[in-house]
Structure 1
Amino acid sequence: MGATGRKRVTAVDVARSLGLSRATVGFVLNDTPGQTIPESTRRRVLAEAARMGYRPHRAAQSLRRGSSRVILFVLPDWATGVPLQQHLDEAALALDEEGYALVTCTRYAAGRARPLWELLTPDVVIGLGSFGDEELASMHGCGITRIIPAPERPATLDDWPALTSGPALQIEHLYELGHRRIGFAATADPRRSLLLDTRVRAAQHAAAGLGLGPLDVRPVDHGVESAREVVRDWLDAGVTGVAAYNDDTAATVMGAAVRAGVRVPRELAVIGHDDTPLATVFVPSISSVRIDTVGLGRHLAAFALHEADGRPLPARDSGADTVVVARESTLTGSDAPATAL
């Protein structure tokens, strides 16, 4: 029975309607290679199947060929911002070109819904974080063996330099502009702790490599008064430059600074991350880190295809296409556009 309660039209129904053998109809509907079926018969079968409303039984097809041609990408409970969505869109396009579908799902803390891999039986499951023992047992129970990361092949966000190399560029950019006491504006959203921890660690490492002291890391929520207090504390501590978790956080810091009468960037320079549309329309415009979301999406697709059917493993993502786009929020003096505050 179909989802509407009506009986599903099968290949047997089509064969009975045409007075043909089930095998002949099955060969046509499944586009089985190596068969010498007359073109006129093939057209009759396809026309009758369309008239009767026949739809392939995808689960049965997957069992026959041993592949669902589905890649499942399991996301942490993050808000899907512009860069991540662009990344996923490009990966989906690249996989579609190869006959695969990319499906995404989110792992929520409550975890009450049935895991999507149990419903789809994907060829490959890829996650940004490690899977728990119960999740792995569930996947193995479904016959899923290509799981990334797996216990024998651990992986972390550090394995995706395009996602994690930006903070070092932020610190280097501020350092080159003469800032020696630098703060880091962390998101206050606990759901993003996995990526936040990785970015803070990368920023601290870059600061140490430049001979700077530890970064003054402070959480920033989107409340005006809260952000204003953080800005005041940074200025009291001698901080002159701030690297922000993302462009939204950078905008929050800059808005609080401007409302408090702090000149950006002359008294406090701020650089964001992700180079979202907000970075260009905010006043002053926000310097930011631009990620090659197209290249990253294509890399993810190539990696998934390697796992799915053994294609050559792509070169490791180097993060080389991650760059700083300098704008008004950090440029000063002769380099600053006339609209900088």
Structure 2
Amino acid sequence: MAEEETPAPAPVTSADVARLAGVSRATVSFVLNGTPGHRVGEPTRARVLDAARRLGYVPHAAARSLRAGRSNLVLMPASVSAIGRLVSEWVDDLYGELERHGYTAVLHAGRFADPVDAARAWAELRPAAVIALDGDRLTAGAADLLRRAGVRGVLAFASGPVEGVHTVGFDHARIGAAATEHLIARGRTRIGVVLPRERGLGALARPRLAGVESVAARHTATVTPVELAYTRESATGLARRWRGLDLDSVFAYNDEYAALLLHALRAEGVAVPDEVAIVGSDDLVLSGLQQPALTTIRLELPAPARIADAVHELIETGGAAPVPAMEAVLVHRRSS
């Protein structure tokens, strides 16, 4: 005989908190939502917080948004695999700065081929604002859909302006260009460019490749894309056929792929930088610890506080002051 299922317990409501604390539901709302303009005595506030803690009550964000007429969510669409270690630390700091303004940041990792479909999925959550880390995929149509759905601010990191979007300059082509200018200045003319096989990284790798190609086209340099998965086996396979590719240098997408390839090349007896110069990106701690230390591109991003302030301005007023663009700065070390 099948066991009877235990019914799920009824969710705790603000009415339960009010009964236990001996106050009205309105008072519970004022205390737990921090409603401005409503003063509640400290003893009463303490009773409400204690009752909520004992009952395990959590305010309903959607209901609170309906009452307030706006959400406190800031949505950040981004592929998790595309957020490198450098950017993930920056995003963590941004979360804290958004909390300072009273917002809750939510990472949205959905994958959509069409920008308008993506915007429709974001709009379903009714965020107050959207921060698009991969803003080059945004379109004016997607921005308009978000606006009509009540999203008060859209900020995007993109290579160029998008109608209806507060754009912060972040052109990945500049990263590839900076690496290539350095390699050519060091006398390298046969440049490989690592294209990661990992899903989600193509959106960043392709413009970096374009930046390499744009600089090489102005010189007598050739560019050869080389695929590399972030595995030891893939790196070993590439290193074993490296001499057959006849490349004297490589821009390895970022420091993690650069370090992986560096170790594989050295294991196969390929001398760095004598036979091949390597440049990574992001200036991670590990780049300076390699043997030889990796040349890299440091990404100077706008301060998270500056971004959070701009998002708050967009939500409150519909406009914000310009934010400085990302800068790609070469850090020369021994691998090149």
TM-score (norm 2): 0.75
Correspondence 1:226 to 2:237 = yes
Answer yes or no: is the 8 Å Cα contact 1:188–1:219 preserved in 2: no
Q: Which residue of 2 aligns with 1:249?
A: 257
Unmatched 5+ stretches in structure 2:
1-6, 115-119
2: distance between equivalents of 1:212 and 1:47? 70
Q: Secondary structure of 1:304's match? A: helix
Cα deviation per residue 1:53-105 (whole Å; 9 max; x = unaligned)?
54433222211222221111101363432112112112112212222121112
In the alignment, structure 1 residue 217 sits paired with structure 2 residue 224: yes
Q: Deviations 1:255-283 (Å, cap 9, x if unpaired)?
A: 34324433211222111112223323332
Identify the residue that residue 193 of structure 2 maps to in structure 1: 184
SS in 2 for 1:93: helix
For the Cα contact (< 8 Å) 2:155–2:311, is it kept in 1? no
Segments of structure 1 that go 5 or more residues without pairing to the other structure are 331-341
CA distance in 1, matches of 2:48, 2:268: 75
Q: Which has the higher contact order (CA 8 A, sep 6+)?
A: 1
- Counterpart in the other structure of 2:75: 72
Do 1:70 and 1:123's aligned partners in 2 also have CA atoms closer than 8 Å? Answer: yes
Matched letter for residue 84 of structure 2:
G
Give the Cα separation in 2 of the matches to 1:35 and 1:263.
70
The C-alpha deviation readout for 1:187-239, integer Å capped at 9, x for no partner, is 2335311111111112222334xx3135422223252453135522443xxx4
Which has the larger displacement, 127-136 or 61-70? 127-136
Residue of structure 2 in register with 1:97 after alignment: 100
Q: 1:263 to 1:141 in 2, by over 3 A?
A: same
Q: Quickly say closer, same or farther: Cα 1:39–1:85, change in 2 above 3 A.
A: closer
1:151: how far off?
7.6
* 1:68-217 mapped onto 2 (5 Å cutoff): 68-76=71-79, 78-108=81-111, 117=122, 120-127=125-132, 128-129=134-135, 130=137, 143-144=150-151, 146-147=153-154, 152-153=163-164, 159-161=169-171, 163-189=172-198, 191-208=200-217, 211-213=218-220, 215-217=222-224
Whether 1:8 and 2:12 are equivalent positions in the alignment is yes
Q: Which amino acid is 2:334 matched to?
A: E
Decide which moves more: 72-81 or 13-22.
13-22
Counterparts of 1:79 and 1:159, CA distance in 2 = 18
Of stretches 122-131 and 267-276 in structure 1, the one that deviates more from structure 2 is: 122-131
One-letter amino acid matched to 1:123: A
| 1:79/1:280 CA distance change after superposition, 3 Å | same
User: What stretches of structure 1 move > 6 A for 4+ residues in a row?
Assistant: 132-138
Letter in 2 for 1:305: H
Cα deviations across residues 4-25 of structure 1 (Å, max 9, x unaligned)? 6234232x44555566555555
Deviations 1:146-182 (A, max 9, x none): 44569844799x9314x54222221222233233443
- How far apart are 1:310 and its partner, in Å? 2.9
Instruction: Provide the residue aligned with 2:4 in structure 1.
Output: none
Change (3 A) 1:23 1:299: closer
Partner letter of residue 85 of structure 1? Answer: S
Which residue is 1:334 aligned to? none
**Larger deviation: 70-79 or 144-153?**
144-153
Name the CA distance, whole Å, in 2 between partners of 1:198 and 1:36: 54
1:328 corresponding residue in structure 2: 334
CA distance in 2, matches of 1:18, 1:316: 47
8 Å contact kept, 1:75–1:104: yes
| 1:308 corresponds to | 315
SS in 1 for 2:201: helix
The code of the aligned residue for 1:197 comes to R
Once the 2 structures are TM-superposed, how far is the Cα of residue 240 of structure 1 from its aligned partner?
2.7
The Cα of 1:290 is off from its aligned counterpart by: 1.6
**Identical-pair percentage:** 29
**SS of aligned partner of 1:78:** helix
- Cα distance, 1:123 vs structure 2: 0.8
How far apart are the structure 1 equivalents of 2:113 and 2:65?
Answer: 31
Distance 1:256 1:77 in 2: 26
How many residues are paired up? Answer: 317
Letter of the 2:12 counterpart: R
Q: Which residue of 2 is the match for residue 337 of structure 1?
A: none
- The CA distance in 1 between the partners of 2:17 and 2:266, in whole Å, is 71
